[in-house]
């Protein structure tokens, strides 16, 4: 069932993919503070929601699978895949390729990433306050990595990449609403995207010293974590 919350969150996700560069560059609080806010909320989201969710899913499937670590392995695989993509862009081999080729490799993997995250968000049964709260974290996460991707290749990102990412996000949202919401495939998608998110947050969204506004990063992380813990306890999420 499509809710008004889902529609709003889907529109926000797509707009962020289209205008992440503009959102950050024209932010009233400044680029440094917005990226620090994004990183702070994202790291809190990973430790308070993503890791416990991955643990819960592994426990649910532990009895029917051969081992107790399959989903954790898929999380590791997601981390390794996206580490490889970033590493490729920095290698000497990449310098001999055209900028378009290097960018398209990265953008293609992020299309998959956007699709998976959007599908997972919209296929899970989260509504009202919970959906808005989790949607906020994902929105800030999208702003952070989409900005970093576009900042390196602004021309390609503005002319084609952002539309590719927005399309993948839209497709993931639509299929998430009408597709299956449980099963091994969905849990595998959650695990894979969890590993990829861990890497993206820790390697790209934790602000470097010269680009960070430390108070914003620390305060946003602690406030989001404390609020999430309180709401999970109160609403039994």
The domain locations on the chain are 4-22+49-62+86-206
Model confidence at 13, in pLDDT bands (50, 70, 90)? Answer: very high
The reported pLDDT for the residue numbered 64 is 54
C-alpha distances (whole Å) from 173 to each of 51, 59, 114, 178, 221 are 22, 27, 10, 9, 27
Report d(CA 29, CA 27) in Å as an integer: 5
The radius of gyration computed from the CA coordinates of the chain, to the nearest angstrom, equals 17
Q: Provide the whole-model pTM.
A: 0.85
Per-residue pLDDT at 209 exceeds 70: no
> Mean pLDDT across the stretch 168-179?
89
Instruction: Say which residue, 175 or 132, is predicted with more confidence.
Output: 175
The reported pLDDT for the residue numbered 222 is 94
The reported pLDDT for the residue numbered 66 is 54
pLDDT digits (tens, 9 = 90+) for 43-56: 898 888 888 888 88
The reported pLDDT for the residue numbered 161 is 93
pLDDT digits (tens, 9 = 90+) for 39-94: 889 889 888 888 888 888 777 776 555 566 788 888 899 999 988 888 877 775 56
Model confidence at 217, in pLDDT bands (50, 70, 90)? Answer: confident
> Mean pLDDT across the stretch 21-34?
90
The reported pLDDT for the residue numbered 128 is 65
b/e 83-108 (16+ beta carbons within 10 angstroms → b):
eebeeebeeeebeeeeeeebbbebbe
């Amino acid at each position: 069932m499509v809710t008004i919350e889902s529609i709003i969150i889907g529109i926000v996700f797509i707009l962020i993919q289209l205008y992440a560069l503009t959102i950050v560059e024209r932010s009233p609080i400044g680029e440094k503070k917005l990226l620090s806010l994004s990183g702070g909320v994202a790291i809190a989201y990973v430790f308070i929601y993503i890791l416990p969710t991955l643990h819960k899913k592994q426990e649910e499937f532990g009895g029917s699978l051969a081992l107790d670590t399959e989903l954790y392995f898929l999380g590791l695989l997601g981390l390794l895949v996206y580490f490889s993509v970033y590493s490729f862009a920095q290698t000497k081999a990449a310098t001999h390729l055209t900028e378009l080729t290097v960018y398209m490799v990265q953008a293609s993997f992020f299309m998959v990433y956007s699709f998976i995250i959007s599908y997972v968000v919209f296929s899970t049964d989260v509504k009202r306050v919970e959906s808005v709260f989790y949607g906020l974290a994902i929105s800030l996460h999208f702003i952070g990595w989409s900005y970093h991707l576009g900042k390196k290749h602004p021309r390609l990102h503005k002319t084609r990449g952002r539309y590719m990412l927005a399309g993948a996000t839209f497709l993931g949202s639509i299929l998430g609403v009408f597709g299956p919401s449980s099963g091994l495939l969905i849990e595998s998608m959650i695990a894979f995207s969890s590993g990829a998110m861990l890497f993206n947050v820790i390697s790209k969204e934790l602000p470097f010293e010269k680009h960070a506004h430390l108070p914003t990063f620390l305060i946003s992380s602690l406030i989001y974590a404390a609020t999430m813990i309180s709401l999970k306890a109160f609403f039994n999420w």
